[in-house]
């Protein structure tokens, strides 16, 4: 026990500690995230100092974090070679709350559950260590002071003493966490490794776990008689000699125990770099890390930086294949956005970053200084999340727009994600216009897909509407007498062979002031009607007996029988009435009734 100078925690600190413990007791594991991120911050600081003063690193040229588990003593140590703290720093940083705003914030806390969730806005920070610790000892060495020890059991006060062992750290900070009796899980270094991977795999400095290992080696045999010694006295030679000459004296293998630091974070946070400096291979490799699918490829990606109030960097990938369960997972919360704050993982549990139809994207977002909470509820109501979300969606549209410059390639996107786009048209009101430009359809124009925009550019003089017809497949649509007659007159018809197409069109409402016309509806106006010939009325008079006979014969099946000028080669056609369902809609409704 080291006798140190006694200090009291600032009242706010005690309150903060209580709040942290009460609101985060369900996720004590975040202590490791917080301490590693503090280590990483401290390493950033000394590296920054070294830019103008290279000698700052002389006290220890290595920059890293090392975690060690001492099972027998029930202690975990986390050691960084960062900037370290002077005696004064220890007293101030680990005894008071320096951040402005925190005190006022604490004043407003009534102590109920919703308030508790707000706590993370101010960074959970160092005090989260008391989620798992009943005693903490911080040993720290800053270049401007001797090595000091800060120690506390979190009850009211802490002590600071000069380290009697001297300046053993060289430079940096070691946090020794004495675990509470019920926190044994953190004595298992595979559990620690799992947490480092979860929260800190992209920390920019090496993070090691110090492991005690054993290995079995062939013991050196008892050295043979002096007289046998040859002139070659290297180890191997001695062993060789001994083996050859006295095989019976071969000693049993011995087990040696040694310590080794295993590097935990080999993945690099490529998103923090300038996109120009990142190679295609690096993007590919990172994608397979992010998707946790070795060798997986992406179809396209966008790497960007957002500035302003909510500074963040992000990479967004479109996987080359749509996930199999993309449309099944509509009902349960699912997130494909990994949120980091300064390289430290915060959550991938928030479904608020992207609208549902963008569930296929794989995104990493790293916010510079977002007031983000660890708790899901708060993340969801967070303003900065909304702004990040808006930005992500905008970037996605930019990406799709540039992909659609090459229609052949874009067809691959439509093949995988056409249905997602349509879902977007149905659900995402604010983006429906943009989505309408990205949709592609089969058409009578060519075998290739067409956009609505290029359909409009090919419209005939006088044509007011966009013509389409629905059916179970393109062949069926092509054979329709309605389609046939329009084609004969030189109109282009869009082939809607997906059951949701018609519903999507009704959500779009129209495109560039043109409305959508199902060519199977009875009131179709082409815009080039032949006014010189007999009117439909006159024709109806002429054919009245035939119409009457047909109506009487088909009484149970049709509502009306009319003369039409729309048909060319087919003698008759069945049409839906203007307010009725088209044959296709009937098929959908029947399907749903089953």
Annotated binding-site members for ATP: 34, 38, 80, 85, 93, 99-101, 173, 376
Instruction: Please state the residue numbers annotated as binding site.
Output: 34, 38, 80, 85, 93, 99-101, 173, 376
Local structure of 482: helix, strand or coil: helix
Touching Mg ion, residues 258-287 (CB under 5 A)? none
Position among 19, 32, 33, 123 found at the interface with ligand ADP (CB under 6 A): 123
Residue of minimal Cβ distance to ligand ADP: 125
DSSP designation for 140: E
Alpha helices in 489-582 (DSSP H): 501-508, 536-542, 544-553
Region from 39-47, 161-169, 340-348, 391-399 binding ligand ADP, contact rule CB under 6 A: 39-47
Q: Considering beta carbons, is residue 125 or 418 the nearer one to Mg ion?
A: 125
Q: Which of 17, 23, 66, 80 binds ligand ADP (CB under 6 A)?
A: 80
**Judged by CB, which is closer to ligand ADP: 42, or 154?**
42
Which run of H or E residues covers position 516?
strand 516-518
Cα distances from 206 to residues 30, 81, 309, in angstroms, run 19, 11, 31
CB atoms inside a 10 Å sphere around CB 526: 20
Minimum CB distance to ligand ADP, residue 144 (Å):
13
> In this chain, which stretch among 35-43, 68-76, 355-363, 426-434 interacts with Mg ion, using CB under 5 A?
35-43
Please give the Cα distance from 499 to 378 (Å, whole number).
39
CB of 48 to ligand ADP, least distance (A): 13
Query: SS3 for 148?
Result: strand
Q: How far is Cα 448 from Cα 390, in angstroms, rounded to an integer?
A: 33
CB of residue 78 to Mg ion, shortest distance in Å? 12
82 vs 471, which CB is nearer to ligand ADP? 82
Give the separation between CA 145 and CA 515, rounded to whole angstroms. Answer: 77
Nearer to ligand ADP, 94 or 207 (CB): 94
Q: How far apart are the C-alpha atoms of 257 and 262, rounded to whole Å?
A: 15
Q: Is 39 in the site for ligand ADP (CB under 6 A)?
A: yes
Supply the minimum distance, in Å, between the C-beta of residue 347 and ligand ADP.
18
Coil/strand/helix, residue 254: strand
Tell me which residue of 353, 370, 399, 382 sits closest to 308, measured CA to CA. 370
Options 75-83, 297-305, 371-379, 446-454: segment touching ligand ADP (CB under 6 A): 75-83
Minimal distance in Å, beta carbon 89 to Mg ion?
14
Does residue 362 contact residue 287 with C-beta atoms inside 8 Å?
Answer: yes
- Within residues 19-38, the interface with ligand ADP by CB under 6 A covers 34, 38
Take residue 178 and report the two structure tokens written for it.
């004495």
Q: Does 40 bind Mg ion (CB under 5 A)?
A: no
Min dist. Cβ of residue 133 to Mg ion (A): 16
Question: Binds 451, which of Mg ion, ligand ADP, none (CB < 5 to 8 A, cut-off by type)?
Answer: none
φ/ψ of residue 552, rounded to 5: -65, -40
Does residue 86 belong to the site contacting ligand ADP (CB under 6 A)?
Answer: no
Exactly one of 82, 269, 424, 520 binds ligand ADP (CB under 6 A); which one? 82
Give the whole-angstrom CA distance, residue 27 versus residue 42. 25
Sign of torsion over alpha carbons 568, 574, 579, 585: negative
Q: Choose, by CB under 6 A, the member of 32, 83, 131, 392 that binds ligand ADP.
A: 83
Q: Which residues within the stretch 58-87 sit at the binding site for Mg ion (CB under 5 A)? A: none
Residue 481 binds which of ligand ADP, Mg ion, none (CB < 5-8 A, kind-dependent): none
Burial 242-276 (b: 16+ CB within 10 A, else e): beeeeeeeeeeeeeeeeeeeeebbeebbbbeeeee
Task: Choose the contact partner of 337 out of Mg ion, ligand ADP, none; CB within 5 to 8 A by kind.
Answer: none
Please check whether residue 392 is in contact with residue 317, taking contact to mean a CB–CB distance below 8 angstroms. Answer: no
Contacting residue, 38, 128, 139, 378, with Mg ion by CB under 5 A: 38
As beta bridge partners, residue 322 has none
Find the binder of ligand ADP among 19, 32, 36, 42 (CB under 6 A): 42
Per-residue interface string for the shown chain with Mg ion, residues 109-148, x marking contact by CB under 5 A: ----------------x-----------------------
CB of residue 32 vs ligand ADP: minimum separation in angstroms? 12
Give the nearest distance from C-beta 97 to ligand ADP in angstroms.
9
Three-class SS of 34-97: HHHHHHHHHHHHHHHHHHHCHHHHCCCCCCCEEEEEECCCCEEEEEECCCCCCHHHHHHHCCCC
Contact range with Mg ion by CB under 5 A, out of 31-39, 396-404, 453-461, 547-555? 31-39
Residue with smaller CB distance to Mg ion, 124 or 400: 124
Nearest position to Mg ion, beta carbon:
38
Is 126 among the residues that bind ligand ADP (CB under 6 A)?
yes
Closer CB to ligand ADP, 54 or 98, in the complex? 98
Spatial separation of the C-alpha atoms in residues 564 and 555, rounded to whole Å: 19
Q: Distance between CA atoms of 386 and 588, rounded to whole angstroms?
A: 36
Give dist(CA 305, CA 563) in Å, integer: 63
Smallest distance from Mg ion to CB 123, Å: 6
95: phi then psi, degrees, rounded to nearest 5: -145, -15
Smallest separation (angstroms) from ligand ADP to the CB of 88: 11
Count of residues engaged in binding ligand ADP, rule: CB under 6 A: 15
- The yes or no reply on residue 315 touching ligand ADP (CB under 6 A) is no
Closest alpha carbon to 110 in 4, 233, 216, 22? 22
Q: Which stretch binds ligand ADP (CB under 6 A): 118-126, 369-377, 395-403, 566-574?
A: 118-126
Burial of 593 (0-12, 13-18, 19+ CB in 10 A): exposed
Please report how close the Cβ of residue 36 comes to ligand ADP at its closest, in angstroms: 9
Residues near ligand ADP (CB under 6 A): 34, 38-39, 41-42, 80, 82-83, 85, 93-94, 123, 125-126, 173
Residues near Mg ion (CB under 5 A): 38, 125
């Amino acid at each position: 026990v080291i006798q140190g100078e006694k200090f009291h925690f600032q009242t706010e600190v005690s309150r903060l500690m209580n709040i942290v413990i009460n609101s985060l007791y369900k996720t004590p594991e975040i202590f490791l995230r917080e301490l590693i991120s503090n280590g990483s911050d401290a390493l950033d600081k000394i590296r920054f100092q070294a830019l103008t003063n290279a000698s700052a690193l002389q006290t220890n040229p290595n920059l890293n974090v090392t975690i060690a588990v001492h099972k027998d003593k029930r202690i975990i140590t986390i050691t960084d070679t960062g900037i370290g703290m002077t005696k004064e720093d220890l007293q101030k940083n680990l005894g008071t709350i320096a951040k402005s705003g925190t005190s006022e914030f604490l004043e407003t806390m009534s102590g109920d559950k919703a308030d508790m969730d707000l706590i993370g806005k101010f960074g959970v920070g160092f005090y989260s260590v008391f989620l798992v610790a009943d005693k903490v000892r911080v040993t720290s060495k800053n270049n401007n002071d001797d090595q000091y020890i800060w120690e506390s059991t979190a009850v009211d006060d802490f002590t600071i003493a000069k380290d009697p062992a001297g300046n053993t750290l060289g430079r940096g900070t070691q946090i020794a966490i004495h675990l509470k009796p019920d926190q044994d899980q953190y004595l298992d270094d595979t559990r620690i490794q799992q947490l480092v991977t979860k929260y800190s795999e992209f920390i920019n400095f090496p993070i090691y776990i110090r492991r005690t290992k054993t290995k079995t080696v062939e013991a050196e045999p008892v050295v043979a008689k002096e007289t046998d010694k040859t002139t070659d006295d290297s180890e191997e030679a001695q062993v060789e000699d001994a083996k050859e000459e006295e095989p019976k004296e071969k000693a049993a293998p011995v087990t040696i125990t040694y310590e080794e630091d295993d590097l935990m974070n080999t993945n690099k946070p490529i998103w923090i770099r300038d996109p120009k400096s990142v190679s295609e291979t690096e993007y590919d490799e990172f994608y397979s890390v992010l998707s946790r699918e070795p060798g997986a490829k992406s179809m396209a990606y966008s790497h960007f930086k957002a500035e302003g109030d909510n500074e963040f960097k992000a990479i967004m990938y479109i996987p080359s294949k749509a996930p199999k369960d993309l449309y099944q997972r509509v009902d349960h919360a699912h997130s494909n956005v990994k949120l980091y704050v300064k390289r430290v993982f915060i959550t991938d549990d928030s479904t608020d970053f992207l609208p549902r139809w963008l569930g296929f994207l794989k995104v990493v977002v790293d916010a510079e200084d977002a007031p983000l909470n660890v708790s899901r509820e708060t993340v969801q109501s967070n303003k900065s999340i909304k702004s990040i979300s808006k930005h992500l969606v905008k970037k996605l549209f930019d990406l799709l727009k540039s992909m659609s410059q090459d229609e052949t390639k874009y067809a691959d996107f439509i093949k995988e994600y056409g249905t997602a786009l349509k879902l977007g048209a149905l659900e995402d009101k604010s983006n429906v216009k943009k989505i309408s430009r990205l949709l592609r359809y089969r058409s009578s124009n060519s075998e290739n897909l067409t956009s609505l925009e290029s359909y409009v550019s090919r419209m005939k003089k006088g044509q007011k509407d966009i013509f389409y017809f629905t059916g179970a497949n393109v062949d069926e649509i092509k054979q329709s007498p309605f389609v046939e007659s329009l084609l004969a007159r030189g109109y282009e018809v869009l082939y809607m062979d997906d059951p949701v197409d018609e519903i999507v069109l009704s959500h779009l409402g129209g495109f560039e002031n043109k409305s959508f016309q199902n060519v199977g509806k009875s009131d179709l106006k082409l815009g080039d009607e032949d006014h010189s010939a007999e009117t439909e009325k006159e024709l109806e008079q002429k054919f009245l007996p035939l119409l009457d006979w047909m109506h009487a014969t088909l009484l149970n099946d049709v509502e009306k029988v009319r003369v039409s000028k729309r048909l060319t080669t087919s003698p008759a056609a069945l049409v839906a009435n203007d307010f009725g369902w088209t044959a296709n809609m009937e098929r959908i409704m029947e399907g749903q009734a089953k």
